[in-house]
Amino acid sequence: MHKPSVAELRPVVHPAGVKDRRSGEHWAGRLYMRELSLRVDRHLVNTRVTPNQLTYVMTLAGVLALPALLVPGVLGAVLGVVMVQLYLLLDCVDGEVARWKKQFSLGGVYLDRVGAYLCDAAVLVGFGLRAADLWGGGRIDWLWAFLGTLAALGAILIKAESDLVGVARHQGGLPPVKESASEPRSSGLALARKAAAALKFHRLVLGIEASLLILVLAVIDEIRGDLFFSRLGVVVLAAIAVLQTLLHLVSILASSRLK
């Protein structure tokens, strides 16, 4: 069976604009994963594997980040990163295989969004359970599990707020929103939005960034011999998630996206 080369694949599966999408392409995809995914595509595009099947496996990888993070110590944090990176790889591959095979469906788009919701939630819930020290032998402090779950809920709501713009516009008989409509009409809100975008603190509640943060904090805690920094990280992510949920909602309502 002929395997297309990377040079043959690239113009088809990476059409102009794919890597430049403002909100549709993760920095890790632009930096390295899109190149790695091309090498995986070669082995899949001429098989019976469908894009939706890849999306199912992608979602499973993201969900498995949760039990991976429950493994004590640095090993669990490393496994969490591995599962999230596998999720990201398959998130690239499923769309690329769909472009090569010309197998597009609304079901695939829907499943992709569900996978993104579940991966972010799995990482943050897993982080909270790590901080609760399930296997430490002492009393389990469920406060950390609660805060991790709160962070997960916020991460999901942030995505839902964006997705529901499309739902509201569709039900109102309006066309899809344009990028320019996302700019707040208030100059003060516009400045706040630019400041948040520059700092990018809100990205810490996304599965990819959160998993890398968890690994860094796990290494520090391993050196210290406690869970202080992991627990501090759970508090910070919960606060970011709650704050960003409110700010994002205000940003949407203050923009032209619902006009």
Confidence (pTM)? 0.89
162 within domain boundaries: yes
Least confident of 100-114, 118-132, 164-178, 221-235: 164-178
Report d(CA 33, CA 19) in Å as an integer: 11
DSSP annotation string for 95-124: HHHHHHHT---HHHHHHHHHHHHHHHHHHH
The domain spanning residue 126 has which CATH number? 1.20.120.1760
Q: Report the number of distinct structural domains present in the chain.
A: 1
56-92 confidence digits (pLDDT tens): 999 999 999 999 999 999 999 999 999 999 999 999 9
259 within domain boundaries: no
The residue range of the domain holding 58 is 6-254
> What pLDDT score does 30 carry?
87
55 within domain boundaries: yes
124-150 confidence digits (pLDDT tens): 999 999 999 988 777 888 999 999 999
- Helix axes 228-254 and 187-199, enclosed angle (nearest 10): 150
Distance of CA 257 to the CA centre of its chain: 23
> What pLDDT score does 152 carry?
98
> What pLDDT score does 39 carry?
95
1 within domain boundaries: no
146-205 confidence digits (pLDDT tens): 999 999 999 999 999 999 999 999 898 889 877 555 555 555 545 555 555 545 777 899
> What pLDDT score does 224 carry?
96
Q: Mean pLDDT for the chain?
A: 89
Read off the amino acid at residue 142: W
